[in-house]
Amino acid sequence: MKLYQYKWRPAYFTNPAEILDENSNCIGTIKKHYSNVFIRLLDVILEGKYFVQYQIHQQNDLIFETKAILNPFKKRQYKINYYGNDKHIEFLLIDKKMFDIVEVTSFDFDGETFHLKKAPFEWGQLTVNDELIAEWHIPLKPPFTCKFKLYNSSYENMVLFLIGIFHTYLTFK
């Protein structure tokens, strides 16, 4: 198992947070992104819940980008762009739960189906073929240090992608 962590900042802060491995080496940064000042101001007024747009960089390269798709008549949806491993993959991450307090979704990526689930007060879990590959947690009170555990080393080249999925889906509801 490998452990990664980063500080979660309030929803409308745009300063990047370093993603650190278990040896405190920075493997990337995560930050909130706004397309313009007007959207940022509006998001501050609305408490940072509607204009969800995050970017994860590895050194100076954009690796992961997510943007909420706002539609009052549909469930929560996020457009994900992944630019890692010499490829660009785009897909939607859609809320799949029906009147339940447990967060549940699944998505297809690179030929595999990933299942994400998080019950209240528990770590979020990501599985592939019923095998737990990663867990993610954010505490309920400050300091808000997000922790990510990777159990399957064959997904090590996708750590920033997996952190981005957890962060996108579980920090904003």
pLDDT digits (tens, 9 = 90+) for 66-109: 998 887 767 788 999 999 878 899 999 988 776 778 888 999 99
Query: Residue range 17-42: average pLDDT?
Result: 92
Could you give the CA distance from residue 152 to residue 86 in angstroms, rounded to a whole number? 22
pLDDT at 127: 98
Could you tell me the two tokens for 77?
């949806």
Mean pLDDT for the chain overall = 89
Omega before residue 143 within 30° of 0, cis = yes
Specify the pTM: 0.92
pLDDT tens across 131-150, in order?
A: 999 999 988 877 789 999 99
Torsion over CA: 145, 147, 117, 107 (sign): positive
Share of the chain above pLDDT 70, in %: 94
Q: What is the pLDDT at residue 30? A: 95
Report the amino acid identity of residue 34.
Answer: Y
Closest by alpha carbon to 158, among 60, 52, 82?
82
Q: Please, which residues have CB within 8 angstroms of residue 48's CB and are 6 or more apart in sequence?
A: 10, 11, 12, 32, 172
**E strands in 41-169:** 53-58, 61-68, 77-82, 89-94, 103-109, 112-118, 124-128, 131-137, 145-150
pLDDT band of residue 11 (cuts 50, 70, 90) is low
Per-residue pLDDT of 37-53, as tens digits, reads 888 888 888 777 677 78
**Is the pLDDT score of 128 beyond 90?**
yes
Q: pLDDT at residue 173 above 70?
A: no
- 11 close to 47: Cβ distance less than 8 angstroms: yes
